[in-house]
Structure 1
Amino acid sequence: MQKASTSAGAKTAGNRKMQKSPNNGAAKAQKSAKTVDTVTDSELLYNPPAFLTAAEKERRKYLQARVRAEGESASTSSKSNATRPTDRKRHLQAEDPLPADANNNDTNKGGKVAQESASTQAAGTTKRKQPRSQGLEQTSPIMVNGEALACPLVRKSLPAAGASGPAKSCPLPVKRKSLPPEAAKSCPLPSKKDSVTKSPMTVHEAPKVDSATSNSNEKQLATMPVDIHKTDSIEEGRRVLEWLINPVAVNQFFADFWENNACVVQRKNPNYYSKLMSFKMIDDILMRNRVEFGTNLDVTIYRNGKRETLNPEGRAFPSVVWDFYAEGCSIRILNPSTYLLGLRQVCSIMQEFFHCLVGANVYLTPPNSQGFAPHYDDIEAFVIQVEGRKRWRLYEPPEKADQLSRTSSGNYDQKQLGEPIIDEVLEAGDLLYFPRGTVHQAITEKGHFSLHITLSVYQQQAYANLLETLMPIVLKKAVKKSVALRRGLPLHTFHVLGEVQRTNRCESRDQLVENVQKLVSKYLMPSTQDIDEAVDQLAKKFQHEALPPIILPEEKVRTVFGSRSISDQEGNSVCDYEFDTDTSVRLLRANILRLVNEDDGSVKIYHHVNNALEYCKYEPNFLEILQEEAIAVEVLISAYPYYITVDQLPLKTVARKVEVATALWEHGLLMTEKPFK
């Protein structure tokens, strides 16, 4: 690599002599008396005589070394100042800066940043252009006069090969042609009307509050209880929901909005959700974790009325992701709670209140673009605007059967949608809730990017899901008990029933229909026990899907997660805990486990203590216990959130009481009232 630099430098020096320019004549006229020496040096370097004296040979070696050093210096300078396509885009962003809360920049200093960027770019164009780097270093903001450019996530080029070994990088996707700045990167929404025609679905807007009141409420709701180990996890989930939708009261929310109407909360407090997610946190996630395209992250764009997913294969390196973003693509992180502790804590606590998985997706959308086509989902959605702003339009479900839909829809064309029932711009700190089946679309405005989180709740939690689980249980039991259900169908059944025979009005057809209806009404009415069994199966599914609990410091010293064993002088393991009949215990969370009687007669405790941070990555976690031990678990469930002593467990012997309590504690399901240490 060093020879290549020398050769390039020598060629550059030679070109300076051979190429003619309008200034060549003036330059020659200004030469001093040393011009002869300079010409002689040039001849020695590029056109030496056949025979050289010893002094001329030494002089030529000196000149070659000097040209080599100049060539290396020019190569390094050219590389550091080369202007890449991504840099040019970010320079344009610096001229038209994002809102101050995007990168914590002072917008009043934007002019100085832009001037510095312009001068840097101009200097770069005077030097030889270098190939675009495909490598990746530790990403950090490029600072100019102490300020970051409009996008702080600028990639650095890898050092030149040879300086610190060969460059190691992941190849970038095939470069797509960027749209001109004036071209629309998405299908624009219709212009916002002064008054939107309301549909039968009533939409209420939460009352606005001033910043002082909102900040006070935020601090009050964010304060943890004094005795964390005595709190009820369901009430804690309610408290987090109250903070999320503040100032709307929880009771009002469920009476007026839940599964019925959209709800907009506008606070004028841009920092309300700022601790959950930020632009910089996304870059940290990409740098510190192996984030995979398609598995953990999607790149999407909506243009010409069509949504496209542009995921390459492999790891989502920051350099690749930010190139897509600079070209107008939206970035969706599919499992942000895996990487962000604060967001995971919100989800894990709220799942206690909703008794189902609370999922989260993060959406980062560049200015004047749209990542997804109009559609509806099968979830109750809480849209949390963290940074920037985004315009949302909601529409009634196209068909009555789509209301509270159990499946997500395909993409709709703008012409298929009627007048919106809501048309609002969410700013940082605002929230939007809408029920499943609500068609929605969102677009960023010119000059404004958007970063929002969507919390998803109550997916597949309908009565229909219960009945889908319940009826097979009922039918299985009924078939066992009733010989009438096991009798064969009449021989002429196919000739009198079916779509083709619908117009066939005969006595045998009517008799068959009546017989089937009587069998259903007589044998397929579920009992209370059947319904309990079906609900247990749904709860078992929740244990498999749920996020693992986040153990707080006050809980850690009372659980197995804070236990440490030591060895004695003989090398034996010595535990730092010991249970007796006076030890007070309770469940770690209200929904930490589910006691299930299986079809094979076994009794199992399903739990989510050891679940992965990724959705259903492992098989369900369970403990199998004896039938006579189930009563002890039932007492613990009934006593929550209060503590009971080990002696209060309804088991036959003291030894068995201590043994069961110890086993449950060692699996992370119980917490003691007092620390052992």
Structure 2
Amino acid sequence: MDLVRADGQDPGAQSGAGVLETRLIDIGRERFARDVWGRAPLLTRRAGGFADLFSADAVDELISRRGLRTPFLRVAKDGSTFPDSSFTSPAGVGAAIGDQLDDTALWRRFAEGATLVLQALHRTWEPVADFSAALSGELGHPVQANAYITPPQNRGFDDHYDVHDVFVLQIEGTKRWILHEPVHPGPLRDQPWTDRRSAVAEAARGEAYLDVVLEPGDALYLPRGWLHAAQAQGAVSVHLTLGIHNWTRHGLAEQLAQEALALLAEDPEMRRSLPLGVDGPGGEIDTVRERLAAALAEADPTPRFHRTRRGQGRPAPLGPLAQLAAVQGLGPGSHVRLRGALEARLDGPRLSTRVGWLDFPETDLPSVSRLLDGEVHAAGDLGVELVERLLRAGVLVPCDQ
């Protein structure tokens, strides 16, 4: 596998590109999908400034003023993670919950060389949340976001691999990344690097596949399984890691098997007890294989796939006061749009979303279909009663024209 270096705009890049092409890579989506995705690291120099997403000031704000609790932060140094109790405490009158971040304790850990890991920024920092949602929509895979803040000449974690793909976005300072090829390509979620600790350590002693210092504005893509370790250089390093929780063929096979088993549960022969005194599968296995194969051929994992996908994320934020005002002030001239990140699908008369499902009469289906384009619509063009129902359900949100 060759490292793909992004040092020129792919002439095939499409106009109107999303955040993948405009912010993270400069080789074009098609080339990325063909040559890079899940196959090789991609280094993109000066992908763009990321200060609009995150900054050192954002770190201080989150730690000192937002009342974050575990597990929204981890602290690590030289491969060891500190216990939560070493950097959390109650927050005083009216906020006595004991696992809130203690900024004084965190300052002391940081001054001693520990890396601070702000986790799930796709839930706690709006610019990162919006960016992650956009990237997830483009990739078709769930995205999470963490920030790593490392003091000069320190590192938080030893050589390891992740069980998800990542985009590393260097925000401030510089960080040296050393990459080695996988010892277990394409690991699944239940195949962490700790299961192959000795192989990882041995591979990390070999010649590096890539040894590079990331500077502000650089982006690095790593497929899951690639070994890596990173160390801050002469200043505090702040970088974002966007973790891509990949759908895999194995995951799809699991869902297909679950659907097949659900079908077999309705088969009286498959519910029949094995012979008395059975001490192994014996001659029963052929019958089971035959009926399982038939069920697999009949099973459709698509509905389960979409249910699982909807359960892996959250819809875009919804303000209850603004929503109530929209309902109370609704008229033909009111403007609405589909709430973001709903994973909405219309199957027959049923609209399934991350906030539940709704059935519609046939007369409403054309209007519901129009709403799925995500564009702004006037309530009078869709039907005020229909719009009110969808506003109350949290499927539509008000917007300005």
Please tell me whether the aligned partners of residues 540 and 594 of structure 1 are also in contact (alpha carbons under 8 angstroms): no
Q: In 2, distance between residues paired with 1:300 and 1:674?
A: 45
Return the offset for 1:367.
1.4
Identify which of 522, 536, 548 aligns with 2:294: 522
Q: In 2, distance between residues paired with 1:351 and 1:485?
A: 41
For residues 283 and 590 of structure 1, do their structure 2 counterparts lie closer, same or farther at Cα, with a shift above 3 Å needed? Answer: closer
**How many residue pairs align between the two structures?**
380
User: What does residue range 151-300 of structure 1 map to in structure 2 within 5 Å?
Assistant: 201-207=1-7, 239-267=18-46, 272-292=49-69, 294-300=70-76
For residues 637 and 203 of structure 1, do their structure 2 counterparts lie closer, same or farther at Cα, with a shift above 3 Å needed? Answer: farther
Return the offset for 1:388.
1.0
Return the offset for 1:326.
1.1
Deviations 1:255-293 (A, max 9, x none): 1110111000112x8x7112222222211222221123x
Moved more, 448-457 or 485-494: 485-494
Report the counterpart of residue 661 of structure 1 in structure 2.
Answer: 387
Secondary structure of 1:443's counterpart equals strand
Q: In 2, distance between residues paired with 1:377 and 1:359?
A: 13
- Is the counterpart of residue 625 in structure 1 residue 358 in structure 2? yes
User: What does residue range 241-640 of structure 1 map to in structure 2 within 5 Å?
Assistant: 241-267=20-46, 272-292=49-69, 294-302=70-78, 306-311=79-84, 312=86, 313-314=88-89, 315-399=100-184, 402-407=185-190, 408-410=192-194, 412=197, 414-417=201-204, 418-445=206-233, 447-459=234-246, 461-480=247-266, 482-491=267-276, 493-494=278-279, 497=281, 509=282, 511-527=283-299, 530-542=300-312, 545-546=313-314, 548-549=316-317, 561=322, 564=325, 575-579=328-332, 587-589=338-340, 591-594=342-345, 605-607=352-354, 621-622=355-356, 625-626=358-359, 628=361, 632=365, 635-636=368-369, 640=373
For residues 282 and 648 of structure 1, do their structure 2 counterparts lie closer, same or farther at Cα, with a shift above 3 Å needed? Answer: closer
Q: In 2, distance between residues paired with 1:586 and 1:375?
A: 44
Q: In 2, distance between residues paired with 1:203 and 1:625?
A: 48
Secondary structure of 1:300's counterpart equals strand
Q: In 2, distance between residues paired with 1:667 and 1:241?
A: 32
Please tell me whether the aligned partners of residues 563 and 577 of structure 1 are also in contact (alpha carbons under 8 angstroms): no
For residues 562 and 405 of structure 1, do their structure 2 counterparts lie closer, same or farther at Cα, with a shift above 3 Å needed? Answer: closer
Q: In 2, distance between residues paired with 1:537 and 1:282?
A: 35
Please tell me whether the aligned partners of residues 469 and 537 of structure 1 are also in contact (alpha carbons under 8 angstroms): no
For residues 560 and 451 of structure 1, do their structure 2 counterparts lie closer, same or farther at Cα, with a shift above 3 Å needed? Answer: same
Identity of aligned residues (%): 24
User: What does residue range 38-187 of structure 1 map to in structure 2 within 5 Å?
Assistant: none
Secondary structure of 1:525's counterpart equals helix
Return the offset for 1:550.
8.3
Return the offset for 1:538.
1.9
Judging by fraction of residues, say which structure has more strand: 2
Please tell me whether the aligned partners of residues 560 and 666 of structure 1 are also in contact (alpha carbons under 8 angstroms): no
Please tell me whether the aligned partners of residues 74 and 81 of structure 2 are also in contact (alpha carbons under 8 angstroms): no
Please tell me whether the aligned partners of residues 180 and 209 of structure 2 are also in contact (alpha carbons under 8 angstroms): yes
Q: In 2, distance between residues paired with 1:363 and 1:673?
A: 35
Return the offset for 1:372.
0.8
Q: In 1, distance between residues paired with 2:162 and 2:264?
A: 36
- TM-score using structure 2 length: 0.80
Q: In 2, distance between residues paired with 1:357 and 1:587?
A: 20
Unpaired runs of 5+ in structure 1?
1-200, 210-220, 222-234, 498-508, 552-558, 566-573, 608-620, 650-656
**Counterpart amino acid of 1:286?**
I
Q: In 1, distance between residues paired with 2:256 and 2:108?
A: 50
Please tell me whether the aligned partners of residues 296 and 333 of structure 1 are also in contact (alpha carbons under 8 angstroms): yes
Q: Which has the higher contact order (CA 8 A, sep 6+)?
A: 2
Q: In 1, distance between residues paired with 2:218 and 2:189?
A: 27
Q: In 1, distance between residues paired with 2:21 and 2:76?
A: 33
Q: In 1, distance between residues paired with 2:126 and 2:34?
A: 32
**Counterpart amino acid of 2:6?**
A
Please tell me whether the aligned partners of residues 274 and 386 of structure 1 are also in contact (alpha carbons under 8 angstroms): yes
Return the offset for 1:491.
4.4
Please tell me whether the aligned partners of residues 25 and 219 of structure 2 are also in contact (alpha carbons under 8 angstroms): no
Q: In 2, distance between residues paired with 1:334 and 1:540?
A: 21
Q: In 1, distance between residues paired with 2:399 and 2:49?
A: 34
For residues 247 and 603 of structure 1, do their structure 2 counterparts lie closer, same or farther at Cα, with a shift above 3 Å needed? Answer: closer
Return the offset for 1:363.
0.3
**Counterpart amino acid of 1:606?**
T
Q: In 1, distance between residues paired with 2:145 and 2:363?
A: 35
- TM-score using structure 1 length: 0.50
Return the offset for 1:512.
4.0
**Counterpart amino acid of 2:236?**
F
Deviations 1:568-591 (A, max 9, x none): xxxxxx9322249xx886534474
Q: In 2, distance between residues paired with 1:339 and 1:454?
A: 15
Judging by fraction of residues, say which structure has more helix: 1
For residues 639 and 202 of structure 1, do their structure 2 counterparts lie closer, same or farther at Cα, with a shift above 3 Å needed? Answer: same
Please tell me whether the aligned partners of residues 315 and 339 of structure 2 are also in contact (alpha carbons under 8 angstroms): no
Q: In 2, distance between residues paired with 1:274 and 1:638?
A: 34
**Counterpart amino acid of 2:211?**
D
Q: In 1, distance between residues paired with 2:323 and 2:337?
A: 16
For residues 295 and 643 of structure 1, do their structure 2 counterparts lie closer, same or farther at Cα, with a shift above 3 Å needed? Answer: closer
Larger radius of gyration: 1
For residues 630 and 524 of structure 1, do their structure 2 counterparts lie closer, same or farther at Cα, with a shift above 3 Å needed? Answer: farther
Secondary structure of 2:274's counterpart equals coil
Unpaired runs of 5+ in structure 2?
90-99
Return the offset for 1:365.
0.8
Return the offset for 1:383.
0.3
Return the offset for 1:548.
2.1
Return the offset for 1:341.
2.3
Q: In 1, distance between residues paired with 2:397 and 2:360?
A: 23
